[in-house]
Amino acid sequence: MPISAYVFVECTAGAARDVAKEVSKIQGVKRANATTGPYDVIALIEAPDINVLG
């Protein structure tokens, strides 16, 4: 059964959209979106098991 996790990213001011776009290209990333608040990007990642997830 696959395992999912949310990853929160802080980045340089004004770069959140570009960072989200690049993060979304990483294998295992199902979705990455710019957000507001203490973190700039939130990414949903999925892996086959906890060992692969890291």
Burial of 43 (0-12, 13-18, 19+ CB in 10 A): buried
Query: Which regions of the chain are under pLDDT 50?
Result: none
Please count the residues of the chain. Answer: 54
Q: Locate 5 and state its tokens.
A: 């996790």
CATH of residue 22: 3.30.70.920
pLDDT at 20: 98
Domain count, the chain: 1
User: Whole domain around residue 39: which residue ranges?
Assistant: 3-53
Q: What is the DSSP letter of 37?
A: S
pLDDT at 54: 80
At 7-20, the pLDDT tens digits run 999 999 999 999 99
